[in-house]
Chain A
Amino acid sequence: GQQVMQIPQYQHVQEGEDFTTYCNSSTTLSNIQWYKQRPGGHPVFLIQLVKSGEVKKQKRLTFQFGEAKKNSSLHITATQTTDVGTYFCLAGGTSYGKLTFGQGTILTVHP
């Protein structure tokens, strides 16, 4: 079955440093979504990537989808304390039963 590995599991940064989390799939994906979950909160949708090699930006966040559509990354430039939380990828397909979340990367930002 589909497996999605997300790394790193934890990341501690100083405010102002950059941060990147990666998701790697064992199979080719039709799309990938990214979510953020604040401590004590629920996951909130950030973005969806569909096309091979796609790059999307949201202010300080840059999302990439690999050429082979098997990996994706989320990069945050100049982190702020408001970026604290857990970032998840959701590997999509054409079957809802095959939805697979990455394990998540917990980001801590030290002021």
Chain B
Amino acid sequence: DAGITQSPRHKVTETGTPVTLRCHQTENHRYMYWYRQDPGHGLRLIHYSYGVKDTDKGEVSDGYSVSRSKTEDFLLTLESATSSQTSVYFCAISESMTSGRLNEQFFGPGTRLTVL
């Protein structure tokens, strides 16, 4: 498996509290992504990064912010958690595009977040 870790692996928090999830890679890949996975919805892209301090929104970005101050770290923040953000969060990485096409993604182990 690619060198990707996520922390924490499990978290229970209360509505209205801030939460930060961390993704750390040792592969020096340029691209990093945050997804959420919910039953019936598959994997949905929240935010992604194409370089240090370069980030953009995905399909379901409302209520989430991200930061990438170093190549190896990509942080996902829920400023004020809501119950609808209860989910499993996956971080993924990939190398730069090849011939204009996206490369394979390597996923971290996931973080299970419960918002009460």
Contacts and interface: CB of A to CB of B under 8 A. Distances in A.
Prevailing SS type, chain B contact patch = strand
Interface string A40-72: 011111001010000000000000000000000
Interface in A1-38: 6, 30-31, 33, 35
B56 A96 contact: yes
B101 interface: yes
A78 interface: no
Interface stretch (B18-26, B37-45, B71-79): B37-45
Contacts of A88: 42-43
Interface in A85-111: 88, 90, 92-94, 96-97, 99-104
Contacts, number: 66
B106 interface: yes
A94 B71 CA distance: 22
Interface of B: 31, 33, 35, 40-45, 48, 50, 56-59, 90, 92, 97, 100-102, 104-110
Interface of A: 6, 30-31, 33, 35, 41-45, 48, 50, 88, 90, 92-94, 96-97, 99-104
